[in-house]
């Protein structure tokens, strides 16, 4: 067996940070959060990339904490991104 590696939660924190940044971008934009933001949604959804890396690390290290936090990071990033993009599309249509 190899040496145990410390449990890292940095990719999950980056995912949550990108989700928050997407909401901030939507809030700063001309239309506000309630009308959505394409760029904010894309930034938020991009948070799924480091969260997936965290999931992979959690699986490799066999640590449940990293894996669980990364799964939540993926869901939050994709959820916030989807909501912001859908709200923006609804604003364009109406």
Mean pLDDT per 10-residue segment, the chain (94 residues): 66 94 90 86 95 90 87 96 94 89
Looking at residue 74, what is its pLDDT?
96
The residue range of the domain holding 52 is 10-93
Domain assignment of residue 64, yes or no? yes
Number of structural domains (the chain) is: 1
Helix 64-93 to helix 48-61 angle (10° resolution) is 160
Domain assignment of residue 2, yes or no? no
Domain assignment of residue 4, yes or no? no
Looking at residue 31, what is its pLDDT?
76
pTM: 0.86
Please, what's the b/e burial string for 77-91 (b: 16 or more CB within 10 A of its CB; e: otherwise)?
bbebbebbbebbeee
Looking at residue 65, what is its pLDDT?
85
Give the residue among 61, 67, 64, 71 at the shortest CA–CA distance from 16: 71
Domain assignment of residue 46, yes or no? yes
């Amino acid at each position: 067996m190899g040496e145990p590696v410390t449990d890292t939660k940095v990719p999950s924190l980056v995912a949550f940070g990108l989700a928050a940044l997407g909401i901030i971008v939507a809030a700063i934009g001309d239309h506000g959060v309630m009308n959505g933001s394409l760029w904010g949604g894309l930034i938020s959804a991009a948070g799924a990339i480091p969260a997936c890396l965290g999931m992979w690390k959690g699986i490799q290290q066999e640590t449940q904490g990293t894996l669980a936090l990364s799964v939540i990071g993926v869901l939050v990033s994709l959820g916030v991104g989807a909501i912001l993009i859908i709200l923006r599309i609804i604003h364009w249509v109406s």
